[in-house]
Amino acid sequence: MNKQYSYPLDFSWSTEEISSVLSFLNQVEKAYEGGVSAEALLDRYQRFKSVVKSKSQEKQIDRDFEAVSGYSTYRAVKAAQEKQQGVIKLGH
């Protein structure tokens, strides 16, 4: 996949908050591009949720991210929650 896309970020977030959101989105990318630890993805998701508290904003970020990358944060988190441990792979 072409990684020349923009991440859906809110520039009113602090540098630390942007870092938390990017870290989560990077874990989602890894889930699709070869595999990622379910525990790591869920940990980053908890940090993401500390920044993005509203469900509507989370859904908007998922839609925006999937539109530019082809990767669903929702599907990645769901797979990690179902598995809880080990590696998840969501390749196309």
User: pLDDT, tens digit, for every residue of 9-62?
Assistant: 898 999 999 999 999 999 999 999 999 999 999 999 999 999 999 999 999 999
The reported pLDDT for the residue numbered 6 is 84
Q: How far apart are CA 18 and CA 85, in angstroms?
A: 26
Give the model's confidence band at 92: pLDDT under 50 very low, under 70 low, under 90 confident, else very high.
low
Residue 3 lies in a domain: no
Confidence check: pLDDT of 64 > 50: yes
The model's pTM is 0.90
The reported pLDDT for the residue numbered 71 is 94
Domain count, the chain: 1
Amino acid type, 22: L
Residue 2 lies in a domain: no
Q: What does the pLDDT average to over 63-73?
A: 94
Residue 10 lies in a domain: no
Question: What are the residues whose beta carbons fall under 8 Å from the beta carbon of 68, sequence distance 6 or more?
Answer: 5, 6, 8
Structural domain of residue 40, as residue ranges? 15-88
Give the pair of three-digit tokens for residue 69. 């990358």
CATH number at residue 63: 1.10.220.80
